[in-house]
Structure 1
Amino acid sequence: MTPNNAPTRAHKQDARAWKKFTGTKYTAALGQMMSPLAQGLLGERVSARRLIAALEEHKLIGAHGGDAILGENGYLSDSSWSFDGKTDYIQLALITDMLRMFTPNSDTSSTGVDSYSLKHTAERFLSPHCSYVTNGRLIWAAAAMGLRLAAPDGGGPNLLIGVSEREHDYVSRILGSGQIRPHADHYRPTGYERLRSTLADELITDSWVRPVPVDEPAPFHDWLIRQVNRNDVVGDLAGDYSAGVRNSDHRLARIADDLLVIFREVSPSPAVYAAGVTAIGEWIRTEPLSAPIRTELVNGDSYDHEGWGAGAGTVERYEYLCPCGDGAIIEEHDNIPGHREHDKYISCDKCGAEWRFVDGRSIRDWALEPVSAAI
């Protein structure tokens, strides 16, 4: 990763401002401005003048001509800044990119993430380029970015930073030793892979633009979440499912088929599986946006057959997972002249009792629904 060969006017202006602010030499300050790691990995290069201005002008942490509000140890700290003259600006630029990785909170009712927790996440994520981050510098970078800052009840040196709590929890669990790693990626920050790979090889080939969020339809997920407060087995299942989504323990069940996939991944108890079948049956029976189940193909074969005197043909046999995962759905096609036969059947005693083929569909377009859905 290499910046422009010659410093721009903005680089030089930042270097002069950083020299004056930190007391370092101009050449050292310019060297920091030109560092490949400080050119903006997930956005525009953060201006040193903007960083300096935040300490004076920011609504919450700005001094506004008085005593400093922010120090190395955090908010309302009397700990003075300690600059080494070699990496301070680079460190702040990297912290800025790490914070850019997360989605800013747009809801003012959201509390945000504690700055002390974020500082530890920054240390783990940015190592070895930046292995120690002070609480104050994390807050400083967030303020310069324009993230929402708030002082928690009870005071103290930590502030709440307005980034997605779910995304931060995901990254913290990915990086933290001894923590249960996420089993699903729906809360992975959009810039996570880009920043991780860039820090690994220090190579930027193009600019990064935050993807526009795509609102993927999730009709079964939305329906199941609405059942959380019910006092029955479906309500209990919905509560467990909702908690699993929040904790990234499993994927979203956007359609009912996905719930069966989740079950195969987490191995639920028989009671939980039965509740899932009940929920899918109610969903299909009562919701206009519902659709029957189509399971995954696990094996398929087609071979030529010389026939029985009326000509050659082919024989096809396809095996799909059954809903519980212990058996199979079999689809067979005998395409031999004079013996054309097509069939489908459930090769699982448990699923044979709980599921049925939906009426009115062709053999190749089969789909399943719980027996309860037809009641």
Structure 2
Amino acid sequence: MTSNNHSNDRSAQQDARAWAAFTGCSYQAALRQIQDPLAQGVLGKRISARQLIRTLHEHPVIGGMIGDPEDGFILGEGGFYSENGWSFDGKNDFIELALIADTLRMFSPLATGEKPEVGSYSLKHTVEAFLSETPASYVSNGRLIWAAAVLDLPLEESGHGGPNLLIGIPENEHDYLFKMSRRGQVRPKAHHYRPPGYEHLSSALDRCAAGEPAGERWTRPSPPAEEPAPFHDWLIAQAGRNEPIGDFAADYAEGIRTSAHRIARTADELVFLLTEIHHSPEAYDAAREAIGEWLGTMDPSPGIRTVQISSDHQEVQGYGAGSGNVERFEYLCPCGDGIIVEEHDNIPGFREHSHFIKCGKCRDEWRLIKGRPVYDWALEPVF
């Protein structure tokens, strides 16, 4: 046995003694919980039973006793200043708290100065839905707050009194987990607000449910570099306008907020996005107008490109001047019902390059920008 293993065993034994004394279960029952694979920490170090107990005494928001020590802690099963104290079953209490803590670890830290906005009661329902196939299939409001306090997540009173606190996790990431976990919810179609640890924890819980090891512990990635999104930023800024472009921009912004669709960082991406989601003819027309206005802010207009859907390359012998090839590329047209064709006859003596819009609707509403090489074609709206 290595000294590290000895140290881990000793820490587990100390935790087991403290947990047994605190909850009233036997030492063996406490040790079994603390050594359970689900309690070892998937997204971070195993939480300490002694730290859990200290938190109820010392935390600046939920720590301490109501009055006389016999009155109980400020926090109980029902939440903040709960009338219900703690009810320990002696079988899964520590495992439940460890799983709740791991679930809360999946979220991004709040930005500096950002205030907590997610209510503990709503969050506790989301967490128990996510953990529905584990021993933490029921999560009390108090245990949710307790686990958040152990992780040093920001906690604030809601200002309305009652047993609920506001928990410092991103509201949009909570909304994503809520929709992924709760029955009857429309699942997100985009993942820009997916909590960073969601996939790792989900996979680890699936492995544990199958009797396999949870796998390597997660390392929180560095925050990704902010990708430039000039068109997205411009479109969001149009949401206050009282005309079709403003209405479309407001609907687009709401779709981003609710993860109903992905972010269109460029005008090209918006065109492709419209082929993926249901929209009205009026929305399409407003989007086309918005793209035209956006392109009009640049001189010369860069136009837009659509997504390539097929390509073909054929070698040919030629006609006495040598062999060559014929290339054909097809791209989705803006409305999604036709194609844009790009062709190249690369045959000595017969070189020819052409492109055209093979869609009646888009031929009326879009044009290929003149003066650009065929390989570098681009479209702009016609008004």
TM-score (norm 2): 0.91
Q: Which 10-residue stretch deviates more, 71-80 or 189-198? A: 71-80
1:145 paired to 2:146: no
Q: Which residue of 2 aligns with 1:216?
A: 227
Q: Deviations over 1:210-246 (max 9, x none)?
A: 1122111111111111111122222111111001100
Q: Which residue of 2 aligns with 1:52?
A: 53
Aligned pair in 2 of structure 1 residues 183, 288: CA closer, same or farther (>3 Å)? farther
1:328 paired to 2:339: yes
Q: Secondary structure of the equivalent of 1:154?
A: coil
Q: Which 10-residue stretch deviates more, 148-157 or 86-95? A: 148-157
In 2, are the aligned partners of 1:7 and 1:34 still within 8 Å (CA)? no
In 1, are the aligned partners of 2:76 and 2:84 still within 8 Å (CA)? yes
Query: What residue ranges of structure 1 are gaps of 5+ in the alignment?
Result: none
Match for 2:244 among 214, 223, 233? 233
Aligned pair in 2 of structure 1 residues 96, 226: CA closer, same or farther (>3 Å)? same
- After TM superposition, the structure 1 = structure 2 runs for residues 28-107 of structure 1, keeping only pairs within 5 Å, are 28-63=29-64, 66=67, 67-106=72-111
In 2, are the aligned partners of 1:56 and 1:65 still within 8 Å (CA)? no
1:243 paired to 2:254: yes
Deviation at 1:275, TM superposition (A): 1.0
1:24 paired to 2:16: no
Tell me the matched-pair count. 370
Q: Deviations over 1:173-205 (max 9, x none)?
A: 111221222111111111001000000102343
TM-score (norm 1): 0.93
Match for 2:170 among 149, 164, 171? 164
1:181 paired to 2:182: no
Match for 2:123 among 114, 118, 124? 118
Q: Deviations over 1:242-287 (max 9, x none)?
A: 0110011110001111111221112321211111111111111215
Aligned-CA RMSD value = 2.1
In 2, are the aligned partners of 1:327 and 1:347 still within 8 Å (CA)? yes
Query: What residue ranges of structure 2 are gaps of 5+ in the alignment?
Result: none
Aligned pair in 2 of structure 1 residues 59, 200: CA closer, same or farther (>3 Å)? same
Match for 1:292 among 297, 303, 307? 303
Deviation at 1:168, TM superposition (A): 1.1
1:15 paired to 2:16: yes
Q: Secondary structure of the equivalent of 1:146?
A: coil
Aligned pair in 2 of structure 1 residues 370, 97: CA closer, same or farther (>3 Å)? same
- After TM superposition, the structure 1 = structure 2 runs for residues 246-325 of structure 1, keeping only pairs within 5 Å, are 246-287=257-298, 291-325=302-336
Paired residue type of 1:24: C
Distance, in Å, in 2 between the alignment partners of 1:288 and 1:190 is 40
Distance, in Å, in 1 between the alignment partners of 2:378 and 2:298 is 17
Aligned pair in 2 of structure 1 residues 288, 151: CA closer, same or farther (>3 Å)? farther
Q: Deviations over 1:24-50 (max 9, x none)?
A: 222221222211111111011111111
Q: Which residue of 2 aligns with 1:340?
A: 351
